[in-house]
């Protein structure tokens, strides 16, 4: 494992020597190393390898992993490499390539055997040995009745019970999912059952494949990374290795949107120029009001986005959630407001000024919680990703409202 990690580290940090370093890895390990690299690096290495080199390394990995790597190639080159694969691998890969990679069928593995429930363990043993001989792996054993799945049989049963024992006596349930369900639905099913595998079924309930927990965990990790990109307004395909022009192209649009929204917040401040000129101290506390409000909004956003992902909330039934978040914001606002009021009063020897700062903080945290909950629900209702750059709009709302309340109170009380 340590040697593999060292190889990956070298490939990541040595772009000029990447191809030569990759070729130094034993052929039977190259495919597994590739699978642990980012999509960007997979494409970079595969593009530079010759077709016969790719074919050779693909023979040492599972058909579902072969399918994942081939997705990085152009259609023409993919078909050419497919023709050169061994027939048993080629047939499975062509089958897997028929499906959308972001569905249950696109995630599945073909490392399983089917056995009718009225078969004996002796008959099952022969099927398992044949599979092991062909693939080098012990398969998952799925039990059927007239072609329809009824459960699975644990491998140790073959060793523990007599050869004449019926398979039907040792069947246990296994979670299933339809082949066309999206990744998020697969993850939800996995979380509900906490099982080591999920069986993928065709429309007619026949078995198509099987998804193992390690594959699902990889998807969960990728989704976590994607959510971070969503919050920042970045495209999911951007990586640290992209060129400067690609990074600029991916980012400048949302930065322009952010610039526009920042001008909106600045326009609110401009209405209170006289107040700020008379009480310059107000400018010192404005970033504090805006910063804490923005953070409170993002906290609500994170909770709501998770609820949307798990299908626990939507705009139609979100009133209670919005109210709960606003009450939470009020309690937090009171706590933070008292603290900032005390600090402002002590530092500036002006209790009245401390009261203004504390009140503005209290109200702004309620507003931040409101927008942090409402904005992702509205985006979801509009068919947009609820996490995509929502922070820009939430920050704008809290900045505008926070500045207006803070400077408005100062104008009313101090003038």
pLDDT of residue 370: 93
Domain extent listing, the chain: 2-98, 106-229, 244-414
Beta bridge partners of 199: 176, 210
CATH of 244-414, one of 1.10.10.10, 1.20.1250.20, 1.10.357.20, 3.40.190.10: 1.10.357.20
DSSP assignment of 75-137:
HHHHHHHHHHS-HHHHHHHHHHTTS-TTBHHHH-B--EEEEETTSBHHHHHHHHHHHHHHHSS
CA distance to 7, 232, 242, 280, per residue, from 15 (Å) = 13, 27, 12, 53
Strands 197-201 and 176-178: parallel
| Strands lying side by side in the sheet with 197-201 | 176-178, 197-201, 207-212
| 2-98 CATH | 1.25.60.10
Q: What fold does the segment set 106-229 form as a domain?
A: CBS-domain (3.10.580)
| Closest to 152 measured CA to CA, from 109, 199, 187 | 199
pLDDT of residue 404: 92
Tell me how far apart the alpha carbons of residues 349 and 366 are, in angstroms, rounded to a whole number: 27
pLDDT of residue 355: 93
Tell me how far apart the alpha carbons of residues 330 and 350 are, in angstroms, rounded to a whole number: 24
Q: What string of pLDDT tens digits covers the 415 residues of the chain?
A: 556 667 777 787 778 888 898 998 988 888 888 888 877 788 889 999 999 999 999 988 888 888 888 988 888 899 899 888 888 788 888 888 888 888 888 888 888 889 998 899 888 899 888 888 877 788 889 998 888 889 898 888 888 888 888 888 888 888 889 988 888 788 878 877 666 788 899 887 888 888 887 777 766 665 554 554 554 455 555 555 556 776 777 777 777 877 888 888 888 888 888 888 888 888 888 989 988 988 898 888 888 887 877 667 777 778 888 999 999 999 999 999 999 999 989 988 788 999 999 999 999 999 999 998 998 888 878 777 666 557 778 888 888 998 999 999 999 888 7
pLDDT of residue 228: 47
Q: How far is CA 397 from the centre of its chain?
A: 27
Strand, helix or coil for residue 149: strand
CA distance to 43, 85, 128, per residue, from 92 (Å) = 22, 11, 18
Tokens read off for 157: 């049963």
- Look up the pTM and report it: 0.54
CA distance to 64, 87, 89, 110, 240, per residue, from 93 (Å) = 7, 10, 6, 10, 31
pLDDT of residue 393: 81
Max CA-CA distance within the chain?
96
Tokens read off for 108: 């599945």
Tell me if 366 sits within 8 A of 293, measured CB to CB.
Answer: no
Strand, helix or coil for residue 383: coil
Sign of the dihedral defined by the CA atoms of residues 202, 75, 83, 183, in that order: negative
**Could you tell me which residues come within 8 angstroms of residue 413 by beta carbon, excluding any fewer than 6 positions away?**
352, 356
pLDDT of residue 243: 63
Hey, how many other C-beta atoms are within 10 angstroms of the C-beta on 160? Answer: 10
């Amino acid at each position: 494992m340590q040697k593999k990690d060292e190889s990956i580290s070298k490939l990541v940090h040595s772009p000029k020597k990447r191809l030569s370093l990759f070729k130094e890895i034993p052929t039977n390990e190259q495919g597994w190393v590739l699978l642990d690299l980012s999509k960007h690096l997979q494409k970079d290495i595969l593009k530079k390898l010759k077709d016969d080199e790719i074919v050779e390394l693909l023979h040492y990995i599972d058909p579902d992993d072969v399918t994942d790597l081939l997705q990085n190639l152009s259609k023409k080159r993919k078909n050419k490499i497919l023709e050169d694969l061994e027939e048993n691998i080629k047939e499975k890969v062509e089958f897997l390539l028929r499906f959308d990679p972001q569905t249950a069928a696109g995630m599945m593995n073909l490392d399983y055997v089917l056995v009718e429930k009225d078969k004996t363990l002796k008959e099952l043993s022969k099927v398992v040995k044949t599979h092991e001989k062909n693939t080098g792996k012990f398969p998952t054993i799925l039990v059927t009745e007239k072609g329809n799945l009824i459960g699975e049989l644990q491998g140790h049963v073959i060793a523990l019970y007599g050869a004449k024992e019926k398979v039907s006596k040792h069947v246990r349930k296994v979670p299933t999912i339809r082949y066309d369900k999206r990744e998020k639905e697969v993850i939800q099913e996995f979380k509900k059952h906490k099982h080591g595998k999920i069986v993928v079924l065709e429309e007619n309930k026949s078995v198509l494949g099987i998804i193992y927990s390690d594959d699902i965990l990889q998807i969960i990790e990728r989704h976590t990374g994607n959510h971070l990109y969503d919050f920042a307004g970045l495209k999911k395909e951007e990586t640290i290795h992209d060129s400067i022009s690609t990074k600029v192209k991916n980012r400048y649009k949302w930065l322009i949107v952010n610039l526009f929204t920042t001008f909106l917040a600045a326009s609110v401040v401009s209405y209170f120029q006289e107040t700020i000129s008379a009480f310059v101290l107000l400018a010192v506390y404005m970033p504090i009001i805006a910063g804490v409000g923005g953070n409170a909004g993002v906290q609500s956003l994170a909770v709501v986005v998770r609820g949307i992902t798990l299908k626990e909330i939507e705009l139609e039934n979100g009133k209670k959630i919005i109210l709960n978040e606003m009450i939470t914001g009020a309690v937090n606002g009171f706590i933070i407001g008292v603290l900032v009021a005390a600090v402002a009063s002590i530092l500036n020897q002006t209790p009245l000024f401390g009261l203004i700062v504390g009140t503005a903080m209290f109200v702004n945290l309620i507003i931040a919680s409101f927008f942090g909950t409402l904005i992702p629900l509205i985006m979801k209702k509009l068919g947009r990703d609820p996490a995509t750059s929502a922070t820009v709009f939430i920050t704008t709302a809290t900045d505008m409202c926070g500045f207006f309340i803070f400077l408005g109170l100062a104008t009313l009380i101090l003038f």
